[in-house]
């Protein structure tokens, strides 16, 4: 059989360029997932400890980038609202912590283990307590659904002695776990500040947040109001002075229109429309003054 | 290896006209070792799967689909190859055994720069071939003087051949689209072979012949592996891999020391060195996999090796399947071929290389916990062909290989 390596390379490159230019034949690759993956979805005590340690490390990095707002009453107020929401999160094994970051960016962050941050810039855009609760509930939902934990595959140490022993014997386990931990922290920090959650996770957090709000007694339509205002503000800011827009919020979330459409659908699907639950704008204004 | 064949033939023919080329079969085949854990259990039919560290070798584009954020895996294999050249001296057979523990594979993958990066160490071929035999009271073929008494009272042969090839290097894969991934592994290639052959012949007429040959070759080069994986429809995956080892530097040394039948002293060693670089074939693999559900998949590979130098082009196949009994246990099985790149032997020609096509099977069992897996398995192949270990004539050759392996994989 005669052969021509150059022809084969050219053919391969042509095929590649054709494939890259074609439309997606299969958008999701979940069919590659094998049955043993369900083992990774079971969580044990060691996993919770790993999650908290991991989240604490990321929280430290967040605070290294953006300092805490030095306002004790505001911090206490935000914490009380957050704790009330967290009671309904189903993550009773976690101790949630809430804090306000002294940043003008309009954003909020959550890390595994229950560390929740909202920026001063975000508070300025809110008009009532329900909207603050909506933002906190969205971040709590990320923790509840373990979005970073699953994305980074954060787990405790292997508990099977035989497996650990055999892994060491065959060279499959070493201090690489420690290296992997800190690399995963880097990736998670990058995910929070640059890449953002994927749209599927964001929309899932929105849906769960609606139930958290309603179960805690806040108006479940608050997320839509807040998003509408943010969207309007961002459009205006972009027209006037692009540099002042909330870069992180734009980068790390799906479009406001997309989220609002999904929220409207979820409100109806979950029977949360026309509940007339309180917004508590007076109390919010008394604590979160817009200086 | 071609150098080794020449030296062997030269040494033996020139000294006693008894034996011609008879070397280990491995460079006459391209599919001698099944790499990795999951792949080895599936007969190497992995080009369209490749979503764990061993994918760095089979198809680097596959690691873009790796399930864990960070994975590593290692495989250790104990391999036995038995070759029997039948009826070399009358009804006496020539037997060689290759056995050894091979650190078959180590690899690590993790997310990097929007894709997946990896690093792997692969032993792509390893031979530890031994022959220690004593034959007595026979008349070999090949004597060129009818009046001479070639009857051999005793013949001793001690043969050892160590030949290992390593590929070491980084990989990167990314997904330009959800259903398409592209990857590249850039392996450094290193091969070292040491070969020693010692023969003593004691003839009935009182002549004594002794030959000692030593050969060593060290090669350095690169082995780029370009891979593509595409899912044309749900649950189907097709993969393609193109690779070629390019030897950049080669240093060989052969040394022959002998005592001929008609002289009383040992001839001074002859030493030759060479920097001739051997060409290696371009290899193209095309694979397809069907993920029936999360418990069952089927895969198939076709691998074509280009014809280079005197070797012929070769087409190998592999079929594999994986079945999960439950989330903790999986079974894998496969079938594969390992065809010879040498021409079929002719009864009328001399100096021919052995030709044996091998067909094999594989099986493995894997136990999973949340973060790790442990596999135990075996693969083996078997074939009957022809060889020409004497200067003339053709012998039947039977080769079988059995490899057992244990492998671990961890995710973080």
* Contacts with A15 from chain B: Cβ below 8 Å: 228, 240
Residue A246 has pLDDT above 60, yes or no: no
Contacts of B408 in chain A (CB under 8 A): 166-167, 169-173
pLDDT value for B369 = 82
Nearest CA in chain A to B298: A32
Cα–Cα nearest to B33, from B58, B5, B66:
B58
A153 contacts B69? CB cut-off 8 A: yes
Q: Kindly report the nearest CA distance between residue B182 and chain A, in angstroms.
A: 8
For residue B2, what is the enclosing H or E element?
helix B2-16
Which residue in A has a C-alpha nearest to residue B230's C-alpha? A19
Q: Give which of B134, B139, B170, B167 is closest to B152, Cα–Cα.
A: B139
**DSSP 3-state percent helix, strand, coil across chain B (nearest 5):** 10, 65, 30
**Contact between chains at B374 and A163 (C-beta distance less than 8 A):** yes
- Distance from C-alpha of B334 to C-alpha of B320, rounded to nearest angstrom: 4
Q: What is the percent of chain A where pLDDT is above 70?
A: 73
**Chain B residue closest in CA terms to A164:** B372
Q: Is A206 helix (H, G, I), strand (E, B) or coil?
A: helix
CB-based burial, B272-309: b 16+ in 10 Å, e otherwise: eeeeeebebbbbbbbbbbebeebbebbbbbbbbbbebe
CA distance B196 to chain A (A): 32
Each of the 412 residues of chain B gets a pLDDT tens digit; together they read 333 333 344 334 333 333 333 333 357 899 988 998 899 999 999 999 999 889 999 999 999 988 765 566 777 888 888 989 888 877 888 888 888 888 888 888 888 888 999 999 999 988 888 889 999 988 876 666 777 788 889 999 999 989 999 999 999 999 998 889 999 999 999 999 998 999 999 988 888 889 899 999 999 999 999 999 999 998 999 999 999 999 999 999 999 998 887 777 777 788 999 999 988 999 999 999 999 999 999 999 999 999 988 889 999 999 999 999 998 999 999 999 999 999 999 888 888 889 999 999 999 999 988 778 899 999 999 999 999 887 777 889 999 999 999 988 877 6
Q: Which of B103, B230, B370 sits opposite A42 (nearest CB)?
A: B370
DSSP SS3 for B289: strand
pLDDT at A189 over 70: yes
Environment class of B367 (CB within 10 Å of its CB; exposed 0-12, middle 13-18, buried 19+)? middle
Residues of B in contact with A6 (CB under 8 A): none
Q: Give B-chain residues touching A16 at CB under 8 angstroms.
A: 182, 228
| Separation CA B112–CA A190 (nearest Å) | 12
Q: DSSP state, B81? A: E
Does the beta-carbon distance from A31 to B407 stay under 8 Å?
A: no
A207: which 2 tokens?
């849906």
Residue A151 has pLDDT above 90, yes or no: no
ipTM for the predicted complex comes to: 0.78
| Residues of B in Cβ contact (< 8 Å) with A10 | none
Q: Is the pLDDT of residue A111 over 90?
A: yes
Average pLDDT, chain A: 80
The minimal CB distance from B106 to the residues A31, A171, A181 is found for: A171
Lowest mean pLDDT among A1-5, A32-36, A119-123, B109-113: A1-5
Query: Distance (Å) from the C-alpha of residue B101 to the closest C-alpha of chain A?
Result: 12
Q: How confident is the model at residue A22 (pLDDT cuts 50, 70, 90)?
A: low
**Distance between CA B238 and CA B301 in Å, rounded?**
10
Task: Report CA Rg, chain A.
Answer: 23
CB B282 to CB A8 under 8 A? yes
Q: How many contacts, defined by CB atoms under 8 Å, are there between A and B? A: 167
- Closest chain A residue to B312, measured at CA: A1
Tokens (6 digits) for B153 = 């009272």
Output the pLDDT for position A176: 60
The phi and psi torsions of A253 (rounded to 5 degrees) equal -135, 155
pLDDT over threshold 60, residue A153: yes
Residue A28, pLDDT score:
52
Contact B242 A155 (CB under 8 A): no
Write down the pLDDT at residue B166.
Answer: 95
Reported as a single tens digit per residue, the pLDDT across A201-245 is: 899 999 999 999 999 999 999 999 999 988 887 777 666 654 444
In this complex, the residue of B233, B327, B407 whose CB is nearest that of residue A35 is B327
Model pLDDT, residue A256:
76
Q: Which of B111, B233, B307 sits opposite A3 (nearest CB)?
A: B307
The count of other CB atoms within 10 Å of the CB of residue B74 is 26
3-state secondary structure B324-340: ECCCCEEEEEEEEEECC
Average pLDDT over residues A239-264: 65
d(CA A231, CA A221): 16
A5 vs B: CB within 8 A: yes
Q: Does the distance separating the beta carbons of B244 and A158 come in below 8 Å?
A: no
pLDDT at A1: 42
Q: For A5, which of B67, B282, B295 is closest by C-beta distance?
A: B282
Which of A12, A36, A176 is the closest to B412 by Cβ? Answer: A176
Q: Please classify residue A249 by burial: count the beta carbons closer than 10 Å to its beta carbon, then call 0-12 exposed, 13-18 middle and 19+ buried.
A: buried
Residue A3 in contact with partner chain B when CB distance is under 8 A: yes
pLDDT of residue B23: 39
Residues of chain A numbered 37-76 and touching chain B (CB < 8 Å): 37-40, 42
Contacts of residue A180 in chain B, CB cutoff 8 Å?
69-70, 110, 412
């Amino acid at each position: 059989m005669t052969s021509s390596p150059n022809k084969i390379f050219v053919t391969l490159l042509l095929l590649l360029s054709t494939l890259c230019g074609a439309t997606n034949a299969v958008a999701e690759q979940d069919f590659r997932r094998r049955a043993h993956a369900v083992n990774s979805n079971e969580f044990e005590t060691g996993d919770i400890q790993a999650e908290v340690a991991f989240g604490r490390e990321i929280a430290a990095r967040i605070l290294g980038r953006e300092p805490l707002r030095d306002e004790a009453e505001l911090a206490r107020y935000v914490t009380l609202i957050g704790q009330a929401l967290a009671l309904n999160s189903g993550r009773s094994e976690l101790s949630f912590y809430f804090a306000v970051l002294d940043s003008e960016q309009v954003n909020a962050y959550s890390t595994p283990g229950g560390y929740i941050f909202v920026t001063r810039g975000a508070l300025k855009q809110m008009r009532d307590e329900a909207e603050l609760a909506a933002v906190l509930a969205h971040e709590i939902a990320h923790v509840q659904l373990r979005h970073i934990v699953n994305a980074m595959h954060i787990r405790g140490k292997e508990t099977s002695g035989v497996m650990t022993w055999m892994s060491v014997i065959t060279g499959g386990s070493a201090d690489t776990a420690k290296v992997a931990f800190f690399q995963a922290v880097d990736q998670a920090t990058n995910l929070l500040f640059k890449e953002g959650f994927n749209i599927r996770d964001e929309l899932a957090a929105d849906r769960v947040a609606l139930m958290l709000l309603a179960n805690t007694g806040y108006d479940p339509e608050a997320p839509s109001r807040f998003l509408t205002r943010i969207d309007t503000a961002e459009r205006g800011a972009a027209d006037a002075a692009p540099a002042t827009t909330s870069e992180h919020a734009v980068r790390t979330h799906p479009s406001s229109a997309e989220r609002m459409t999904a929220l409207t659908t979820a409100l109806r699907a979950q029977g949360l429309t026309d509940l007339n639950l309180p917004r508590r704008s007076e109390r919010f204004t008394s604590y979160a003054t817009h200086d | 290896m071609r150098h080794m064949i020449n030296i062997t033939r030269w040494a033996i023919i020139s000294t006693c006209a008894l034996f011609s080329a008879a070397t280990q079969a491995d460079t006459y085949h391209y599919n001698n070792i099944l790499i990795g854990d999951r792949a080895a259990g599936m007969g190497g039919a992995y080009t369209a799967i490749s979503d764990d560290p061993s994918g760095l070798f089979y198809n680097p584009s596959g690691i873009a689909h790796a399930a864990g954020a960070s994975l590593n895996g290692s495989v250790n294999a104990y391999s036995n190859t038995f070759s029997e050249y039948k009826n070399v001296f009358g009804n006496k057979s020539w037997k060689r055994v290759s056995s050894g523990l091979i650190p078959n594979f180590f690899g690590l993958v993790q997310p990097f720069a929007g894709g997946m990066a990896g690093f792997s160490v692969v032993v792509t071929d390893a031979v530890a071939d031994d022959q220690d035999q004593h034959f007595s009271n026979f008349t070999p073929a090949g004597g060129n003087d009818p009046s001479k008494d070639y009857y051999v009272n005793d013949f001793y042969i001690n043969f050892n051949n160590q030949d290992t090839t390593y590929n070491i290097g980084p990989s990167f894969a990314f997904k330009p689209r959800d259903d398409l991934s592209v990857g590249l592994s850039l392996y450094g290639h290193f091969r070292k072979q040491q070969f020693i052959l010692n023969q003593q012949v004691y003839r009935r007429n009182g002549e004594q012949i002794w030959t000692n040959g030593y050969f060593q070759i060290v090669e350095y080069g690169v082995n780029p592996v370009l891979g593509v994986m595409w899912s044309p429809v749900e649950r189907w995956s097709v993969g393609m891999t193109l690779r070629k080892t390019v030897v950049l530097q080669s240093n060989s040394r052969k040394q022959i020391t002998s005592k001929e039948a008609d002289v009383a002293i040992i001839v001074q060693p002859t030493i030759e060195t060479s920097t001739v670089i051997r060409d290696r074939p371009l290899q193209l693999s095309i694979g397809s996999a069907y993920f029936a559900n999360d418990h069952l998949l089927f895969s198939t590979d076709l691998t074509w090796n280009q014809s280079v130098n005197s070797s012929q082009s070769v087409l190998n196949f592999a079929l594999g399947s994986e079945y999960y009994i439950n989330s903790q246990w999986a079974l894998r099985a496969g079938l594969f071929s390992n065809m010879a790149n040498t021409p079929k032997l002719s009864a009328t020609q001399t100096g021919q290389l052995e030709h044996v096509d091998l067909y094999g099977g594989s099986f493995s069992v894997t136990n999973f916990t949340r973060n790790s897996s442990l596999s135990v398995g075996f693969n083996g192949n078997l074939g009957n062909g022809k060889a020409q270990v004497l200067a003339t004539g053709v012998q039947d050759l039977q080769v079988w290989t059995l490899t057992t392996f244990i492998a671990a994989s961890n995710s973080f």
